[in-house]
Amino acid sequence: MRKEIIASAINVLQELFYSEEYKNHFLAMKTLEMYMDLNLFQDVKLVTKEIEEQKAFGLLEPMKLYDMVAVEQIEQRLRGL
């Protein structure tokens, strides 16, 4: 269940940040803030896998504003370190 929630959250963020049809930076940042407050992205291994599968690497920069440590761990896993 957690995998589906994280996959859906990453998909929603991609749509809000990058989709021409749904692009809304303010809503994207508020949604990201809510996800971070809910500790949705604390499972670094699972989040890394979903980011890689969905090619959502662009989400790492905005995520750094809320949890630099977790994003650094995700980046290390993406590099294979």
CB neighbour burial string for 2-24, b if at least 16 within 10 angstroms, e if fewer: eeeebbebbebbbebbeeeeeee
- Asked if residue 70 lies in contact with residue 41, where contact means CB atoms within 8 angstroms, the answer is yes
Say how far apart CA 59 and CA 13 lie, in whole Å: 8
Q: How many CB atoms lie within 10 A of CB 31?
A: 17
pLDDT in tens, 45-81: 999 999 999 999 999 999 999 999 999 999 999 998 6
User: Hey, where are the domains in the chain?
Assistant: 2-79
**pLDDT surpasses 70 at 1:** no
Q: What is the pTM of this model?
A: 0.89
